[in-house]
């Protein structure tokens, strides 16, 4: 047995051990605390329930602006517990906070603190700065001059607060500056220098926990309104265990189908990718736990979707290997060159999407931030498994004796398709679809239906608390109570939560008028023996506030600009970047048209769906652009630009079809087996995947070609 074969056997054996160990860790965990186990992943309100806390304003007549500002700041505050926490208005003077994955309301209340008044005073008690002048406060660790670990709170002030703070520190140099919260001094740091940069630090904290608590108190104290706790309760999951089990089943089936597909199409390389994908899944489960990422039902769908998208890098690599084999090179040489040639497309596509994910994580709020965290994690893992694990396993399989070309496949020669010859037809079809969507939105808006079918998360509604006389679980509610409620209110959009400790069930529906509320109360009393007089109802605001939508929009726009700049930098031509962004906008508008025409509910999953399509679209576009760039570099003078573009699209056509197909497999299985809310997420995603494949093949190259011949680039 030669050395290479022995090494290959050892690597395959170690890979098998590693894969088994990762899956064991994901399934069972390590140690007494079961570290790394998937069951320890923080779940959202829809899957695991959590704590619901209701605050009431001390001021009995708060303005809408004050309420909106307070809700937004509370949303930013509770993101420290979970990016999927929800904050919304209840009635006219109450704010409800729902924090998933926790069950001790008292502990949360103690840590969250009672939002009150915060002031920075001088030693005489004069107020210098109020809490509203502080933009943010964050606990950090640092090493002092003696090399010891120390802790501090870093403050970032508003523009107005920065001016006040500069003046305050100048006038109180060498003196203490007490920080007073609800009349109690919580810290009294000494002013050591004049601070003019709009930021400050409170050093020498006793522990990181103390710094974290002080930062938390300062942030919560910057609210415009003073709040008092009205009530708190532990609520159950909005969906039953059936939702989790069906999603996991869909993931397992979809994963198996994708691996089988890869093996059938790519043979030995497909088997190697199956091992890499298995490691990808196990690592994803472990790292979700390690990074404390809260997982909601749309998050599970996003991860299952990312399994399909992780195939893309492998498809690009294997297509390149087959192309090299077709030129007569050996299998070993083809594998080496194939990985090298695929590298630029894989890296550019993933880095572009990663840039978008990082911007969304930093600038977004709520579900946008949670989506971005999962997306970023998936991108890094997919690059690692494709470029490291797949390569290692594939080389090892070759070393142990799987060397025949028949086991790797040879790229069949395809006649170049004249895609550009059909560009006008494609442009017209796209314009008609987008125009149809915009027209539908206008008609629906004029009829009072709303441009889109906005869900509770976007437009708010009514929260009704039903005190049942007997214990009820979520499955029983779904089977018996929900159909009755749906029939009375004329809508199937109903969210339900069970309150632990009693038999109450809280349902959220579209806004109900007084007559409908009365009909519902009567129906519940007649059919389930509920005390009609004990049923309470309050109008609630949207959980996705205007500020959160603005954050999402700003984050997406900034991410788009960064992607444009990166593509411009990498391809040395603004026309590549411009056509990539245009194709991205095209895909988003087509899916938006689908939402409008099919009247699919627009809620939290809408944001995740659109962001997924943005990432999917840009990745597909870069693969084609990478091939155009390569073919341009090797073109002869007599080659026409149109022929180069058509050839590039034809050469990447297999990749476009296979990647879209594997991703579609995951989503279709999810749609077939998933619960209603998952199907609402999967359906537009299927449209987006098909649209992304269409635009990458029929729109992207044509746009670049037109810009190339019509617009000069400096």
Task: Please report whether residue 528 resides in a domain.
Answer: yes
- β-bridge partners, 713: none
Give the side-chain half-sphere CA count within 13 A for 434: 14
Rounded to the nearest 10 degrees, the angle between the axes of helix 297-326 and helix 241-266 is 0
Q: Clarify whether residues 387 and 406 are in a common domain.
A: yes
The pLDDT value recorded for residue 352 is 84
* Whether residue 114 has pLDDT greater than 70: no
Residues 529 and 555 in one domain: no
At 312-328, the pLDDT tens digits run 889 889 988 998 898 88
Residue 76, pLDDT above cutoff 80: no
**pLDDT tier, 69 (very low <50, low <70, confident <90, very high otherwise):** confident
378 pLDDT tier (thresholds 50, 70, 90): confident
* Burial (CB count within 10 angstroms: exposed 0-12, middle 13-18, buried 19+), residue 485: buried
Asked, for residue 610, whether it belongs to a domain, the answer is: yes
Q: Which of 506, 540, 574 is the last residue of a domain?
A: 540
In this structure, the answer to whether residues 303 and 404 fall within a common structural domain is yes
* Amino acid 509: pLDDT: 86
Q: Is residue 12 part of a domain?
A: no
* Residue 427 maps to a domain: yes
Whether 185 shows a pLDDT value over 60: the answer reads yes
pLDDT of 47 higher than 90: no
Same domain for 228 and 94 = yes
Does residue 24 belong to any structural domain of this protein? no
The residues near 234 (Cβ < 8 Å, ≥ 6 apart) are 49, 50, 51, 52, 103, 105, 499, 500, 501
Output the pLDDT for position 645: 92
pLDDT tier for residue 276 given thresholds of 50, 70 and 90: very high
Q: How high is the pLDDT of residue 646?
A: 93
* Most confident listed range (147-161, 337-351, 608-622, 667-681): 337-351
Tell me what the mean pLDDT of segment 98-111 comes to: 65
Percent of the chain at pLDDT > 90 equals 16
**Same domain? 467 vs 423:** no
Task: Name the pLDDT band for 529 (thresholds 50, 70, 90).
Answer: confident
Average pLDDT, integer, range 644-653: 91
- Mean pLDDT, residues 654-662: 87
Lowest-confidence range among 99-113, 145-159, 623-637?
A: 99-113
Whether residue 659 contacts residue 671, with contact meaning beta carbons closer than 8 Å, is answered with no
Domain boundary residue, one of 516, 540, 564: 540
Q: Is 169 in the same domain as 226? A: yes
Question: Residue 438: what pLDDT?
Answer: 92
Q: How confident is the model at residue 101 (pLDDT cuts 50, 70, 90)?
A: low
> Of the spans 40-44, 397-401, 509-513, which averages the highest pLDDT?
397-401
- Of 488, 510, 540, which one is at a domain's C-terminal end? 540
Q: Return mean pLDDT, the chain.
A: 82
Beta bridge partners of 57: 227
* Claim to verify: residue 231 and residue 250 sit in the same structural domain: no
**Averaged pLDDT for residues 122-138:** 82
What's the rounded mean pLDDT across residues 657-685?
A: 83
What's the pLDDT score for residue 554?
79
Cα angle 550, 553, 557 (rounded to 5 degrees) comes to: 140
CATH assignment at residue 170: 3.30.70.3400
490 closest CA partner among 520, 467, 522: 520
Residues 273 and 405 in one domain: yes
* 513-519-521-527 Cα dihedral, nearest 10 degrees: -150
Q: What share of the chain is helix, strand, coil (3-state, %, to 5)?
A: 60, 15, 25
Q: Which two tokens stand for residue 38?
A: 């998937």
Q: Kindly state whether residue 23 falls inside one of the protein's structural domains.
A: no
Most confident of 33-37, 417-421, 615-619: 417-421
Most confident of 77-86, 149-158, 293-302, 515-524: 515-524
Mean pLDDT of 3-13: 86
Per-residue pLDDT at 638 exceeds 70: no
Q: What is the DSSP string of 254-269?
A: HHHHHHHHHHHHHSHH
pLDDT tens digits for 422-454?
999 999 999 999 999 999 999 988 988 888 888
Average pLDDT of 667-696? 84
281 and 157 in a single domain? The answer is no
Of 279, 270, 248, whose CA–CA distance to 23 is shortest?
279
- Give the number of domains in the chain: 3
- Structural domain including 504 reads 463-540
Contact 280, 313 (CB under 8 A): no
Comparing 131-145, 222-236, 242-256, 480-494, the range with the smallest average pLDDT is 222-236
Beta strands in 391-468 (DSSP E): 461-467
**125 and 202 inside one domain:** yes
The answer to the question of residue 176 being in a domain is yes
Identify the CATH number of the domain in which residue 469 sits: 3.30.70
Same domain, 266 and 306: yes
Looking at the structure, tell me whether residues 647 and 692 fall in a common domain. yes
Is 19 domain-assigned?
A: no
Question: 375 versus 672: which is more confidently predicted?
Answer: 672
């Amino acid at each position: 047995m030669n050395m290479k074969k022995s090494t290959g056997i050892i690597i395959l054996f170690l890979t098998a051990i590693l894969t088994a160990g990762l899956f064991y860790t994901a399934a069972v965990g390590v140690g007494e605390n079961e570290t790394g186990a998937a069951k320890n992943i923080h779940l959202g309100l829809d899957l695991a329930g959590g704590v619901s806390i209701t605050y009431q304003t001390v001021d009995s007549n708060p303005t809408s602006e004050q309420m909106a500002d307070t809700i937004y700041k509370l949303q930013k505050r509770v993101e420290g517990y979970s990016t999927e926490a929800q904050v919304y208005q209840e009635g006219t003077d109450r704010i409800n906070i729902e924090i998933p994955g926790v069950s001790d309301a008292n502990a949360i209340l103690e840590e969250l603190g009672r939002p009150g008044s915060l002031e920075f005073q001088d030693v005489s008690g004069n107020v210098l700065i109020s809490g509203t002048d502080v933009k943010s406060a964050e606990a950090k660790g640092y090493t002092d001059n003696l090399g010891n670990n120390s802790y501090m709170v870093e403050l970032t002030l508003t523009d107005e607060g920065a001016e006040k703070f500069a003046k305050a520190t100048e006038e109180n140099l060498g003196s203490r500056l007490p920080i007073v919260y609800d009349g109690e001094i919580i810290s009294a740091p000494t002013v050591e220098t004049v601070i003019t940069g709009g930021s400050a630090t409170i050093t020498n904290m006793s522990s990181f926990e103390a710094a974290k608590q002080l930062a938390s108190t300062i942030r919560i104290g910057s609210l415009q309104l003073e709040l008092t706790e009205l009530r708190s309760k532990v609520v159950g999951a909005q969906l039953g265990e059936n939702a989790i089990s069906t999603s996991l089943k869909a993931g397992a089936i979809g994963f198996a189908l994708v691996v089988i597909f890869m093996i059938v199409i790519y043979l030995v390389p497909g088997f190697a990718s199956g091992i890499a994908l298995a490691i990808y899944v196990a690592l994803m489960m472990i790292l979700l736990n390690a990074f404390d990422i809260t997982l909601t039902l749309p998050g599970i769908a996003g991860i299952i979707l990312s399994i399909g998208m992780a195939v893309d890098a492998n498809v690009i690599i294997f297509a390149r290997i087959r192309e090299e084999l077709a030129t007569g090179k050996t299998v070993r040489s083809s594998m080496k060159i194939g990985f090298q040639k695929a590298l630029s497309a894989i890296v550019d596509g993933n880095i572009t999407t990663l840039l978008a994910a990082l911007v969304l994580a930093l600038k977004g709020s709520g579900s946008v931030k949670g989506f971005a965290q999962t997306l970023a994690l998936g991108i890094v893992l997919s690059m690692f498994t494709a470029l490291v694990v797949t390569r290692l396993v594939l080389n090892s399989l070759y070393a142990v004796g799987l060397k025949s070309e028949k086991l790797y496949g040879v790229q069949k020669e395809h006649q170049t398709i004249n895609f550009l010859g059909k560009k006008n037809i494609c442009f017209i079809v796209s314009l008609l679809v987008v125009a149809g969507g915009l027209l539908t939105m206008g008609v629906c808006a004029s009829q009072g239906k709303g441009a889109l079918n906005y869900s509770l998360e976007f437009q708010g509604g009514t929260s009704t608390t039903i005190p049942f006389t007997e214990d009820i679980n979520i499955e029983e509610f779904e089977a018996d109570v929900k159909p009755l409620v749906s029939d009375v209110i004329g809508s199937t959009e109903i969210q339900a939560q069970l309150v632990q400790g009693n038999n109450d069930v809280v349902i959220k529906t579209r806004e109900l008028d007084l007559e409908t509320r009365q009909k519902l109360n009567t129906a519940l009393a007649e059919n389930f023996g509920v005390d009609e007089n004990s049923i309470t109802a309050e109008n609630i605001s949207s959980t996705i506030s205007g500020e959160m939508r603005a954050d999402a929009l700003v984050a997406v726009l900034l991410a788009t600009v960064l992607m444009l700049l990166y593509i411009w930098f990498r391809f040395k031509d603004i026309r590549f970047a411009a056509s990539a962004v245009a194709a991205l906008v095209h895909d988003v508008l087509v899916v938006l048209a689908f939402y409008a025409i099919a009247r699919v509910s627009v809620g939290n999953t809408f944001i995740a769906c659109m962001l997924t399509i943005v990432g999917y679209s840009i990745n597909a576009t870069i693969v084609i652009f990478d091939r155009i760039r390569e073919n341009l570099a090797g073109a002869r003078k007599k080659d026409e630009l149109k022929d180069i573009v058509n050839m590039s699209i034809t050469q990447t056509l297999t990749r476009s079809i296979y990647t879209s197909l594997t991703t579609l497999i995951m989503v279709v299985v999810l749609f077939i087996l998933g619960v209603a809310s998952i199907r609402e997420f999967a359906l537009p995603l299927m449209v987006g995947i098909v649209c992304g494949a269409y635009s990458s093949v029929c729109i992207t190259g044509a746009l670049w070609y037109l810009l190339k011949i019509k617009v000069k680039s400096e």
